[in-house]
Amino acid sequence: MDALQPSVQLQQPEPPAGQSGPEPPRPEAAGLRIVRWLGSGASASVWLAAAEDGTEYALKVFTGPDGARGSAGGSGADGEQVLLAGVEHEHLVQAYRQVATSLGPGLLLTFAAGGSLAGLVAARGPLSTGETVTVLTPLGQVLAFLHAQGIAHGDVSPGNVLFTAAGKPLLADLAAGQVAGSAPVRPAATPGFHPGTEAAGPAADVYALAALGWYALTGRVPAATQARPPLGILCPGVPAELAEVLEEGLDDSPAARPAAAEFARRVYRCAAAEPVDLAAAVHPSVVPQLLTRRRPDQRERSGRRRSVPPEPAGAGRTRAGRPRPDLGRLLLAGTALTAGLGLVAALLGMLAGGPGPGAGAAPAAGPAASPGPARPAGRPVPGRISAALASKDPVAALSGLAWLRTEAIRMRSTTLLQDVNVAGSAAMEADRRIMAALLDQDHWFSGLDATVQKAELVAASDTEAEVFAVVSTSAFQEHSAASGLVREVAGPKQQQLTLRLEQSGGRWLVSAVLPPPDPAED
């Protein structure tokens, strides 16, 4: 203990945001059924609300003195919706519309069934290095996106980091946000997650993100610089590179902190991302929906480095000195692997130089081409897919894996891939190359879907299985942030595949996609 000087303080975390204290009065709103209370803050309470069609939302009811009042940099329903208007990102909670409630103005938001980082750490303790990488990398990306729009978040804190049931982190609560050009203010940020009296801005957001990383790894709010012990003392297994970027983010000088995009890139290089285990912290009704659980073969792997770190979404640049990869060629590299779950059946038209035989792909028209939709948002996991993923039958599990892999590619989510492929397998490496290319070029797909039309068990043991499947892939479009619609691929298309599955953590995952049978062989 000699390394800990008397002046060093191990600061305890603030009480987590959420369901602390008695449940507040339940609101009423036309067309919405209030299911349960999710939590409360200083100026609002949040409720799970179901629309008449069954869609679930988070209903944020503002109860503070400002109520609906606010500006682009103010509080209340108006302020938050103004900041969110036209700002969409896959890791940002989306605001849909304002609603009138019996208790005051409300705002309908994305419902994040996985709860908050504050609730997670309170329920099960600190996160692993890999889980922390999973949380920090996309948060750095979404902050870089906001900063490019001239918006600072203003309160990046554990209570404002939410998770979907698939384990995807979302940044919530832009009510404290600051728009570039408005009078600088020191927001009412969560204690310990804002640098002293510094005004809100991109540098203050990076400080908060670094403090969030410290909190995730230690369960503690970082103390002031002079009283903060080295992270390696509290967490001996944390890679030195991760400790270094967190310390830089916590620097007292705003100019010394990395930009959010650079922070995300450096964190991603430190260690392999791992699914965030949410089971201990979610409401019992959510547990069956969870896709992320800690598996015995996914323990701490802090020594493993990423060889192909992605650029944050929207960057659209390649790393210095390296040519831009050809997405079509990467998608088709090693057809037996990248054909996994039917995707390449529809991607045959994506080779450079035009469509392949029978692909039906048409390049987008020149300058007049439609820019296409925004980057796709996440979808709720259907109940039939959750049941398939949990099935002990490899044939039944395959339909769930096909849906989830398509969703991972559609969302460009490496986190979801970890619930599709065996870690370190050939199938995983092939999918990671696809993901790296999508992120590097800032391309994405719309309309992409894959369904298993037929599946038969070829061979099986208690831990391994081979399944023959006929997979159908829909028509889809490829989009680019830089040039809009890139190409359209006709569908539906079918492909015959044999997939090798392995048991991992009580579930079937894909380890390899085998070449289709040779018609010449009897």
Residues belonging to the binding site for ATP are: 60
CA 390/CA 175 separation, integer angstroms: 38
Residue 473 phi/psi, 5-degree rounding, is -115, 135
- Residue 341, number of CB atoms within 10 A of its CB: 29
CA 141/CA 76 separation, integer angstroms: 26
CA atoms within 13 A on the CB side of 359: 23
- Going through 102-251 in order, the beta strands assigned E by DSSP cover 104-110, 151-152, 161-163, 169-171, 178-179
Angle at 12 between CA 7 and CA 17, to 5 degrees: 150
Identify whether the C-beta of residue 25 lies closer than 8 Å to the C-beta of residue 103.
yes
3-class state of residue 362 by DSSP: strand
CA 502/CA 488 separation, integer angstroms: 34
Give the tokens for residue 185: 């203010």
Quote the distance between the C-alpha of residue 366 and its chain's center: 33
Give the tokens for residue 280: 């201990």
CA 84/CA 72 separation, integer angstroms: 9
Binding annotation = 60
Alpha helices in 271-393 (DSSP H): 327-332, 335-338, 343-347, 383-389
Identify whether the C-beta of residue 157 lies closer than 8 Å to the C-beta of residue 173.
no
Residue 148 parent element (H or E): helix 129-148
